Structure formats: structure tokens, C-alpha cells
Amino acid sequence: MAYDARDNDSASFSAFDRYVKDAPGDPVGWYYHGYAHGKAGRLESAVADLTRAITMRMPGPNAYRFRALSFLAMGNAAKSCADGTAAATLGDASAAALVLKHCQ
């Protein structure tokens, strides 16, 4: 997280990559791995990692929110709206705003 806070994407991704290799059963690790992919513009990889975090029951709305944003950037409005709705249902106000803006 410290690397991410300093916008050191390469070091951040390397740290998250090591973490998911060491703790592959932790959905939070896959969430941050996907987040790092997304921040670097690797949207398909971000979606795959975020999907893994969701499948592993990552708590809260964050994985859905960032997967929605990845889908939106990829031009897939239907999947973005579905994930935005899921995140909003889990209490994410920014996702609720995204749904209102893009999913009417």
C-alpha cells in the first residue's frame, strides 16, 4: 500500500503479485492485485483479478465498484451497470451515483 500511495505502480504491482502468490486464498490480495492492474491500464487482467476476489467473497462493495469502472472503461455498459448496482446495494454511494449516471 505504501508504494501505491507514492504512485510507484511497478513496485506496488510487484508487492501485490508476491502477496497473491504467497496467499492465493485471500480475496483482499486479489482485489489489490486487480486494482494495480487497473491503475496500470491492464483492464482485462483487472477484471479477472476482481472477479476472483468477488468469487472468493471479498467483503464490501469495493471489488464490484472497481470492476464496474473497469468494465465501463472497456465499453461494456451492461456489465458495468450490473456491478455498479451490486456495489450500490452493498452501500457504496459513489457506485449508486455511477448507476444513476450511466445505467438509465
Number of domains into which the chain is organized: 2
Residue recorded with cell 505504501: 2
d(CA 69, CA 98): 9
Residues 83 and 55 both lie in one domain:
no
Cut 0.75: pTM above it: yes
Residues 50 and 87 both lie in one domain:
no
Residues 1 and 46 both lie in one domain:
yes
Which residues neighbour 79 within 8 Å (Cβ) at sequence distance 6 or greater? 68, 71
Residues 48 and 16 both lie in one domain:
yes
Question: Do 56 and 25 meet the contact criterion of CB atoms below 8 Å apart?
Answer: yes
Residue that finishes a domain, picked among 59, 76, 94: 59
Residues 31 and 74 both lie in one domain:
no
Residues 14 and 55 both lie in one domain:
yes
State residue 102's pLDDT score: 79
Residue-wise pLDDT tens digits, 53-77: 999 999 999 999 999 999 999 999 9
Cell numbers that stand for 16 in this block: 501485490
Residue 4 has pLDDT above 80, yes or no: no
Residue 7 has pLDDT above 90, yes or no: no
Tell me which residue range forms the domain holding 28.
1-59
